[in-house]
Structures are given as C-alpha cells and as structure tokens.
Amino acid sequence: MNKLARLSAAERRRIMEEFVEELFHGLDSVDPAIRDRMRSIAVDLPEEPTPEQVDAWVELAELVQDPEFRAGMRQVVEFNAADQDRSAAPGRATWFPMRLVQLGAEARERGIAPESPEAEAILREVLGDGDPSVVLERMESASNDRLARYRELLTTVKGAGPRAAHRAEFSWVVAALRARVAG
C-alpha cells in the first residue's frame, strides 16, 4: 500500500491545507468566493472510503505535492488576484470561466468550429471589447489536463460522483480565443 494511503487524517489534512495556503500566500485581492471554495475543498477521506476514493486521494496528494502543479495552480490564483476589483461582487471570478465553458459546450453541440465567424460572435458576447489575448492567457492556465484531473479527483474523494472536468469545452474556448488572437 502506498505510504500516502496510510497517513493519519491529521497528516492528510496538513498536506491539503499546506497546498491551499501556498496558493493564496500574500494574495489579498483574490475573489473571496474562490478563496473560500479552495479552503473548503481541502478534502480528506471519508470514515469508510471506497478503494476508488483511496486511490483518488493518493493521486490527489501526489499531485498537490508536485512543485510544477503547485506553480501552475498558483499562476491561476495570481491571475485571479490581478483581475479583481476590490469592489467586485464575490463569485464573479467563478462566473466568467463557467460562462465561457457553457458557451463552448453550446457551440460544440451546434457544430460551430472555434475558428469560425460564429465563434467570434460567441466570444464577443462575453468579452465585449475585452482583449482576447488576456483572456486566452488565463484560460490556458486554467484549462490544462492536470487541473482537469485535479477537479476529477476532488469529486471522487468527496464521493460526489463523476463530474465533468469540461476538457472539451475548455479546449473549444481556448481554440476560439487563439483563432481571435491570431487573426
């Protein structure tokens, strides 16, 4: 059995709390809803975990201890902190990417290619006059496979059942933004 699977509840909690603390250290302007959500998802195994939950927790613990993953997550949090207007309503930072994902899902269902004029109109609906290159940089940081896997592992450990990591939707949005930036 993996050493991580044999850790005490306190040791498991410490691993997750240190990860979250490192993400937010020194960043006071992060959307409070993001900060609260990340702190609340510092998950531990349930009292009677399934083998799938134990495996997911071990993989999650390995992932959050990986310096490269931590740096990527920190970049996502730094983007959030940089984008925050102190007067903005809490939760705004979660609305925007989820709206882009929703639009990506709808566009994919309708068969709209990311590089098409229809995709440009979809992006313009959300971005307005905003700079697509700025949004692209942020979406690329938040749409990688490791972050998607992190989200999947969290839901498995929590026993919340499979939840979509929105890989295809994020990919569509990133491809559409790249097409706008390129041209």
Query: Burial level of 87, CB count in 10 A (0-12/13-18/19+)?
Result: exposed
Query: Quick one: pLDDT at residue 163?
Result: 61
Residue 65: per-residue pLDDT: 93
Map out the domains of the chain as residue ranges: 3-182
Please tell me what DSSP assigns to residue 89.
Answer: P
Residue ranges for the chain with pLDDT beneath 50: 86-93
| pLDDT on residue 2 | 65
**Tens digit of each residue's pLDDT (9 = 90 or more) over 52-104:** 998 998 999 999 999 999 998 888 888 777 765 544 444 444 556 778 778 88
What is residue 69's predicted lDDT score, i.e. its pLDDT? 93
User: Closest Cα to residue 136, out of 182, 82, 90?
Assistant: 182
The encoded tokens of residue 71 equal 């740096």
In this structure, the dihedral spanned by the alpha carbons of residues 94, 167, 20 and 83, taken in order and rounded to 10 degrees, is: -40
Looking at residue 85, its pLDDT comes to: 55
Nearest to 80 by CA among 28, 18, 19, 3: 28
Alpha helices in the chain (DSSP H): 9-24, 32-40, 51-64, 67-83, 92-109, 117-127, 132-142, 145-158, 167-182
- Give the per-residue pLDDT at 165: 66
